Amino acid sequence: MFINREKELETLSEAYKDSKAQFVVVYGKRRVGKTELVKKFFKSIPHIYFLADKAPEKEQLRMLSEKVGLLYKDDFLLSRGFGNWYEFFTYIKDKDRVVLAIDEFPYLIEANRAVPSIFQKGWDEGLKDSGIFLILLGSSIGMMETDVLDYKSPLFGRRTGQLLIEPLSFWHAKKFFPRMSDEDFMFIYSVLGGTPAYLLQFDPSSDLWSNIRKKIFARDAYLFSEPEFILKEELREPRNYFSIIRAVSMGKSRASEIINETGFEKNIVGKYLSVLTDLRIVKREVPVTEKSYEKSKKGIYILNDNYFRFWFKYVFPNKSFIEEGDTDYVIRKKIIPDLDIFVSQTYEEVCRSNVRRGLLKDKKFNRVGRWWTKDTEIDVVGINEDVNSIIFGEAKWSLKPVGINILEELRAKAEKVQWGDSRTSKYFALFSRKGFTADLIKIAAKEKVLLFKGVEGNLV
């Protein structure tokens, strides 16, 4: 199933129409759909697709030679192969327009740290004047940014385009479960997030608990050890990173709290958090009103991947129960009592996403996020510096209709936000899973407070 990615496909297709040589970098976290995107693009185009691995460089060249030899029916190349990368570049530069997609390019760099310099020379001395459409793909975001995209990289300035492939949004991910209600899918999305490979694991005809039992809690299930596999694949000291991620999953969001929970030294925690941020497993957030993201001292850390959040909260600490087959106990005692609180965090982010994508059609906001102090938090804050406006919103994943007290609390918290001036236009919005009381609806109509019901955000 191929869902969304229309803009990315259009970008690649438009670049292909240009007869000039193209050098496109496609990167993003594992399982996010990079390879499927590129395969969809070159499906009916002459291409060479090469998946790099951890084999020695000589063996990688031999496998690539076979791919090239088969495309061009070159028996000599099939039997002999390329002796080095320069032989390959010389051979391919004289061919007609062809797509060359090298997947997991960081593995080539691990086999030979000079590969970025070698590819830079190959591009400058031949490929840039050929009909090549070169695509370098990579799941190691840190390495792709450092060794391919960074200004210090030998390849800097050579690329003609780049695509960072992000996980699917709630609304695009929902297309994997077209017959499911938005509210029911919120639980699925809270568990799996927007990673296509994870969404494909769940059976749309089964309920949440059946899927969790069969697709996560089963020892031979793809998802059972997925976070462990990724961390072991990406990191040299996965055990220490486990401790960091576990602390963040428990709500230890500040560096000082993570240090206290893990017992690691400050510089070690800083290093680990930086790596996990590069991998898009953890992200650092600051209040949306902060002027400088980097300099802000109010930064906190949260898990940036829903499945990692679910796995480290419910699977990792309960593995002994799960491996003994006592999955009902984990579901009944560990997950169900806490589930609505867990899902509420995802609902808040979906509400913020709805504001970003233009839910308020006549009101646009440049930045949308959260705002907090030590004792106060506002779920949704949107800022538009161009027109000097700000919106404050509260999202409630509650089974009860939201009442007037929530609006009053939101207004009191908004008074503490220091942004704008006396001319700033201020708006208020409430988002509710189950709607609003009659009294609140009356007041909201008089005071122009925006009320959005349900996951889809229908304006009341």
Looking at 196-338, list the stretches that DSSP marks H as alpha helix, in order from N- to C-terminal side: 196-199, 208-211, 226-234, 238-249, 255-262, 266-278, 306-310, 319-323, 327-329
**Secondary structure, 3-state, the chain:** CCCCCHHHHHHHHHHHHCCCCEEEEEECCCCCCHHHHHHHHCCCCCEEEEECCCCCHHHHHHHHHHHHHHHHCCHHHHHHCCCCHHHHHHHHCCCCCEEEEEECHHHHHHHCCCHHHHHHHHHHCCHHHCCEEEEEEECCHHHHHHHHHCCCCCCCCCCCEEEECCCCCHHHHHHHCCCCCHHHHHHHHHHHCCCHHHHCCCCCCCCHHHHHHHHHCCCCCCCCCHHHHHHHHHCCCHHHHHHHHHHHHCCCCCHHHHHHHHCCCHHHHHHHHHHHHHCCCEEEECCCCCCCCCCCCCCEEEECCHHHHHHHHHHHHHHHHHHCCCHHHHHHHHHHHHHHHHHHHHHHHHHHHHHHCCCCCCCCCCEEEEEECCCCEEEEEEEECCCCEEEEEEEECCCCCECHHHHHHHHHHHCCCCCCCCCCEEEEEEEECCCECHHHHHHHHHHCCEEEECCCCEEC
Last residue of a domain, which of 164, 190, 205?
164
In a shared domain, residues 132 and 177: no
In a shared domain, residues 296 and 393: no
In a shared domain, residues 27 and 136: yes
In a shared domain, residues 312 and 385: no
Give the pLDDT mean for 416-421: 93
* pLDDT beyond 80 at 359: no
pTM for the structure as a whole: 0.92
Nearest alpha-carbon partner for 102 in 152, 151, 155, 150: 155
In a shared domain, residues 205 and 157: no
pLDDT for position 185: 97
CB-based contacts of 201, cutoff 8 Å, min separation 6: 192, 211, 215, 221, 222, 223
pLDDT band at 176 (very low <50, low <70, confident <90, very high): very high
CA 93, 164, 181 angle in degrees (round to 5)? 135
pLDDT for position 163: 96
Residue range 362-382, pLDDT digits in tens: 788 989 999 999 899 999 999
Residue 375 is assigned to a structural domain of this protein: yes
Residue 352 is assigned to a structural domain of this protein: no
Q: Whole-angstrom Cα distance, residue 28 to residue 36? A: 12
In a shared domain, residues 158 and 241: no
Give the pLDDT mean for 143-168: 94
**Which CATH number characterizes residue 178's domain?**
1.10.10.10
Residue 349 is assigned to a structural domain of this protein: no
pLDDT for position 364: 86
In a shared domain, residues 294 and 181: yes
Q: How many residues does the chain have?
A: 460
pLDDT band at 329 (very low <50, low <70, confident <90, very high): very high
pLDDT for position 380: 97
Give the pLDDT mean for 272-287: 92
In a shared domain, residues 330 and 438: no
Q: Percent of the chain, pLDDT > 90?
A: 88
pLDDT band at 295 (very low <50, low <70, confident <90, very high): confident
In a shared domain, residues 273 and 383: no
Last residue of a domain, which of 288, 313, 342?
342
Q: Percent of the chain, pLDDT > 70?
A: 100
* pLDDT beyond 90 at 109: yes
As for how many domains the chain has, the answer is 3
pLDDT band at 106 (very low <50, low <70, confident <90, very high): very high
Residue 347 is assigned to a structural domain of this protein: no
In a shared domain, residues 297 and 198: yes
CB of 388 within 8 A of CB of 352?
no
In a shared domain, residues 183 and 264: yes
Give the pLDDT mean for 283-293: 93
Last residue of a domain, which of 96, 130, 164?
164
**Which CATH number characterizes residue 411's domain?**
3.40.1350.10
pLDDT for position 1: 61
pLDDT for position 4: 76
Residue 281 is assigned to a structural domain of this protein: yes
pLDDT for position 339: 96
Residue 146 is assigned to a structural domain of this protein: yes
* pLDDT beyond 80 at 70: yes
DSSP one-letter code for 168? P
Residue range 218-245, pLDDT digits in tens: 999 999 999 999 998 888 788 899 999 9
Rounded to the nearest integer, the mean pLDDT of the chain is 94
Quote the domain boundaries for residue 110: 6-164
In a shared domain, residues 120 and 263: no
pLDDT for position 142: 85
Nearest alpha-carbon partner for 378 in 420, 413, 422: 413
3-class SS of residue 36: helix
* pLDDT beyond 80 at 336: yes
**Which CATH number characterizes residue 128's domain?**
3.40.50.300
pLDDT band at 198 (very low <50, low <70, confident <90, very high): very high
Give the pLDDT mean for 418-432: 94
Residue 403 is assigned to a structural domain of this protein: yes
Residue 318 is assigned to a structural domain of this protein: yes
Give every strand in the sheet of 22-27, ordered side by side.
47-51, 98-103, 132-138, 22-27, 161-164
